[in-house]
Amino acid sequence: MFLKNLFNKNGDQLAKEAIDDYSKSRDEFAVIEKLQKAIKLGIKYYPLDQVYLHIGASYFDLSLHEKAKEAYEKAYEKNPNNSSVVSNLGLSYSLLGMPEKALQFYFEALKVNPNHSFAYHNIGLYYYENGKCFEALEYLDKAIEIKPNLAVAHAVKARCLSYIGDKKEALKYLQSAKKCGFDNCDGLRKDIDSVCNSHPNLFWNKEKFIELSTILSNNDLDLINRIELVIESPYLFFKENEDIFFYKNFTSFEIANILPLTLLLDYLHTKNLLLIVEQDNNLQSLIENIKQLVRKFIDIDDEFFNEFYTEQSFYEVDDLIISISSKIKLVFNLEIIDIWYNEAQLLLTVIKTDDWKKLKYPFSETENGFGRVRCVATEETIKNFLNS
Taking only the tens place, the pLDDT of each residue in 307-326 is 888 877 777 888 889 999 99
- Highest mean pLDDT: which range of 7-21, 322-336, 373-387: 322-336
Res 363 pLDDT > 70: no
**pLDDT tens-place string over residues 261-299:** 888 999 999 999 999 998 777 888 899 999 999 999 999
- Which of 131, 126, 122, 141 minimizes the C-alpha distance to 195? 131
- The answer to whether residue 250 scores a pLDDT higher than 70 is no
The CA distance from 158 to 133, in Å, is: 11
**Model confidence pLDDT, tens digit, residues 131-151:** 788 789 889 999 999 999 999
Residue 283 Cα to chain centre, angstroms: 40
Q: Residue 126 pLDDT more than 90?
A: yes
> What is the per-residue pLDDT for 161?
87
Span 77-104, average pLDDT: 94
Predicted confidence at residue 2, as pLDDT, reads 33
Residue 338 pLDDT more than 80?
yes
Residue 258: pLDDT over 80: no
For range 359-370, the mean pLDDT: 59
Sign of CA dihedral 363, 367, 369, 375: positive
Give dist(CA 107, CA 132) in Å, integer: 17
pLDDT at residue 56 is higher than 90 = yes
- Whether the per-residue pLDDT at 371 is higher than 50: the answer is yes
- What pTM value is reported for the model? 0.63
- pLDDT for 68: 95
Burial of 112-132, coded b for 16+ CB within 10 Å and e otherwise, reads beeebbbbbbbbbbbbbeeeb
Which domains are assigned to the chain? 2-198 (1.25.40.10), 212-387 (no CATH)
Angle at 42 between CA 37 and CA 48, to 5 degrees: 85
Question: Between residues 128 and 206, which one has the greater pLDDT?
Answer: 128
Amino acid at 347: L
Q: How many helices (H) and strands (E) does the chain have?
A: 22, 4
pLDDT at position 246 is: 53
Q: Is the pLDDT of residue 96 over 80?
A: yes
pLDDT tier for residue 253 given thresholds of 50, 70 and 90:
low
Phi/psi at 52 (5° precision): -70, -30
Inter-residue contact 202 to 368 (CB < 8 Å): yes
**348 φ, ψ (degrees, to nearest 5):** -110, 140
Residue 248 has pLDDT above 80, yes or no: no
> Residue 367 — very low, low, confident or very high, per pLDDT cuts 50/70/90?
very low
Half-sphere CA count of 69, side-chain side, radius 13 A: 15
Give the per-residue pLDDT at 316. Answer: 84
What is the per-residue pLDDT for 6? 31
- Percent of the chain residues topping a pLDDT of 90: 53
Q: Give tens-digit pLDDT for 193-225.
A: 888 777 554 444 677 888 999 999 999 999 999
pLDDT of 53 reads 95
| C-alpha atoms less than 13 angstroms from C-alpha of 252 in its C-beta half-sphere | 21
pLDDT tops 80 at residue 76: yes
368 falls in which pLDDT band (50, 70, 90)? very low
* Per-residue confidence (pLDDT) for residue 276, from 0 to 100: 92
Q: Comparing 302 with 234, which gets the higher pLDDT?
A: 302
Q: What angle do CA 222, 224, 227 make, to 5 degrees?
A: 110
Where does the pLDDT of residue 370 fall: very low under 50, low under 70, confident under 90, or very high at 90 and above? low
State residue 77's pLDDT score: 96
Return the SS3 of 275. Answer: strand
Pick the more confident residue, 275 or 342: 275
Task: Render 203-240 in DSSP notation, one character per residue.
Answer: SS-HHHHHHHHHHHTTS-HHHHHHHHHHHH-HHHHHHH
Percent share of the chain, pLDDT over 70? 88
